[in-house]
């Protein structure tokens, strides 16, 4: 049962513009949400997280917004750079005591064009 | 620190063969996990461990065994490989508290 969904498999954006990646979830018990970035032939690397008690978390060019009533979160990348071209996964811990047991979305492939 | 190390990076197996995917971490993390990544499905949890001697099943455990005899190592065993196990496998570790998981570089497995 897919409880974390990323419905856009791909996104193309021009360098310098904003990238907006979307994620929906069905389990209202999720306490945290995480975004991971993955380059080809590498493992995912952690990007940013947000607690369910917040509606926004910012780290440099990356901002995650959470709308609990809509069970929706989004990742904004501003400005987009060529090095941001990667697959981005939204994930949520399945337990409250560890972030090692994660439920992942299917991922969104971002391509940043010059 | 090397982080999370997975071996081998690539493997081709025949149906019915067995093999062990190795995973080692040098960060003294209590929590370790195995995931598989398939096209269009993201990563799915196979097995996880909250410490030496303790393992449990994830979302897709069938066909896989694990053991955790030390904090550092968490091998994943395929007892009788099937084509449906063709996938990219990732091992991860994280401290028990709520911090992000660190992933290895993955093992690409093909079962023919």
Find out whether A47 and A37 touch, Cβ atoms under 8 Å: yes
Q: Going edge to edge, which strands form the sheet with A4-5?
A: A4-5, A19-25, A72-77, A62-67, A56-59
Q: Report percent pLDDT > 90 for chain B.
A: 88
Give the Cβ contact number of residue B103 at 10 Å.
Answer: 24
> Which of B44, B45, B100 is nearest residue A34 as measured by Cβ atoms?
B100
What's the pLDDT score for residue B52? 93
The full length of chain B comes to: 112
Longest dimension (CA), chain B: 40
Is A103 in Cβ contact with B96 (below 8 Å)?
Answer: no
Q: Is residue A21 scored above 90 in pLDDT?
A: yes
- Chain A contact present for B54, CB below 8 A: no
- Please list every residue in chain B whose beta carbon sits closer than 8 Å to the beta carbon of residue A105: 42
List, for residues A31-80, the tens digit of each pLDDT value: 899 999 999 999 999 999 999 999 999 999 999 999 999 999 999 999 99
Residue B95 pLDDT grade (very low, low, confident, very high; cuts 50, 70, 90): confident
Phi, psi of A77 (to 5 degrees): -120, 115
What's the pLDDT score for residue A100? 79
Angle at B51 between CA A50 and CA B105, to 5 degrees: 60
List, for residues B22-65, the tens digit of each pLDDT value: 999 999 999 999 999 998 889 999 999 999 999 999 999 999 99
Question: What residue of A is the nearest CA neighbor of B104?
Answer: A43
Question: Which of A71-75, B73-77, B93-97, B104-108 is predicted least confidently?
Answer: B93-97
DSSP 8-state class, residue A105: -
As beta bridge partners, residue A44 has none
Phi, psi of A74 (to 5 degrees): -140, 150
Locate the DSSP E strands across B1-112: 4-7, 10-13, 19-25, 31-37, 43-51, 54-57, 64-66, 76-78, 87-94, 102-103, 107-111
Residue B99 pLDDT grade (very low, low, confident, very high; cuts 50, 70, 90): confident
- Looking at CA atoms only, how far is residue B29 from chain A in angstroms? 10
List, for residues A91-111, the tens digit of each pLDDT value: 999 887 777 789 999 999 999
- Chain A contact present for B93, CB below 8 A: yes
Residue B31's nearest CA partner among B42, B9, B47 is B47
* Rounded Cα gap, residues B39 and B44, in angstroms: 11
């Amino acid at each position: 049962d897919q409880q974390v969904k990323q419905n856009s498999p791909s996104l193309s954006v021009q360098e310098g513009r904003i990238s907006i990646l979307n994620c929906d979830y069905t389990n209202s018990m999720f306490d945290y949400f995480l975004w991971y970035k993955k380059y080809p032939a590498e493992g995912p690397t952690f990007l940013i997280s947000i607690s369910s008690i917040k509606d926004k978390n910012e780290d440099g060019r990356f901002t995650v917004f959470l709308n609990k009533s809509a069970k929706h979160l989004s990742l904004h990348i501003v400005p987009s750079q060529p090095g941001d071209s990667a697959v981005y996964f939204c994930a949520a811990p399945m337990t409250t005591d560890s972030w090692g047991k994660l439920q992942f979305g299917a991922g969104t492939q971002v391509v940043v064009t010059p | 620190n090397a982080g999370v190390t997975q071996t081998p990076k690539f493997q081709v197996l025949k149906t019915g063969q067995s093999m062990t995917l190795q995973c080692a971490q040098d960060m003294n993390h209590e929590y370790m996990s195995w995931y598989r990544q398939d096209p269009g499905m993201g990563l799915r949890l196979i097995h996880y461990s909250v410490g030496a001697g303790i393992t449990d099943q994830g979302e897709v455990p069938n066909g896989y065994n694990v053991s955790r005899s030390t904090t550092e190592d968490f091998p994943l065993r395929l007892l009788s490989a099937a084509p449906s196990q063709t996938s990219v496998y990732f091992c991860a570790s994280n401290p028990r508290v709520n911090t992000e998981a660190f992933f290895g570089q993955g093992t690409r497995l093909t079962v023919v």
